[in-house]
Amino acid sequence: MENNHITHADIAVKKLRANTTLPTYGSDWAAGADLYASLSEDITVMPGATEFIPTGLAMEIPVGYAGFIYARSGLSCKQGLAPANKVGVIDADYRGEIMVALHNHSKEPVTVKNGERISQIVIAPYLRADFKEVFELSDTVRGEGGFGSTGSH
């Protein structure tokens, strides 16, 4: 397969500290770019606690796009650290430092070191909706079926 179906865009990134690492992709087709901790000293996240980890980065995300902050599977599965808000959203008009609120789901303290990969960012388009109140919605096969209603088991 050729790598000709992936859209590329230049994203302006400002380093806020000298020890900051720019985001990197782990493979040619990775959707998420790794974000790194930018720390002057290690931060230990206690069991059940949340700590804000600075990335040392500010970005200029294009209008019509947002940066979505997701967990790194290795960090969350092996060490129990994942974004506290599950998915962070960086809006196109935000120019401050990108911080990652890491929550420790494990029963052991976990120490985050400078330069460690702490999350990933996916730059993706979004739709801005005009919400219009109606009195009826169109019918579908699913209808009002909620959680688990589409499974056949």
Do the domain assignments include residue 121? yes
Helix (H, G, I), strand (E, B) or coil at 75: helix
Question: DSSP assignment, residue 19?
Answer: T
Q: Is residue 132 part of a domain?
A: no
Task: State the chain's mean pLDDT as an integer.
Answer: 90
37 inside domain: yes
- Stretch 108-131: mean pLDDT, rounded? 95
User: What is the Cα–Cα distance from 62 to 126, expressed in whole angstroms?
Assistant: 11
Selected residue with higher pLDDT from 136 and 143: 136
What domain count does the chain have? Answer: 1
Count the residues in the chain.
153
Distance (Å, rounded) from C-alpha 48 to C-alpha 53?
Answer: 16
Cβ atoms within 10 Å of 59's Cβ, excluding its own: 21
Average pLDDT of span 22-27 = 96
Which phi and psi angles does 83 have, rounded to 5°?
-55, 130
135 domain residue, yes or no? no
Cβ 35 vs Cβ 119: under 8 Å = yes
Tell me the average pLDDT across 8-36. 95
| More confident call, 33 vs 141 | 33
pLDDT of residue 1: 46
Tell me the residue range of the domain where 102 lies. Answer: 12-125
Question: Percentages helix, strand, coil for the chain, rounded to the nearest 5?
Answer: 5, 35, 60
pLDDT reading at 148 higher than 50: yes
Within-domain flag for 94: yes
CATH number, domain of 43, equals: 2.70.40.10
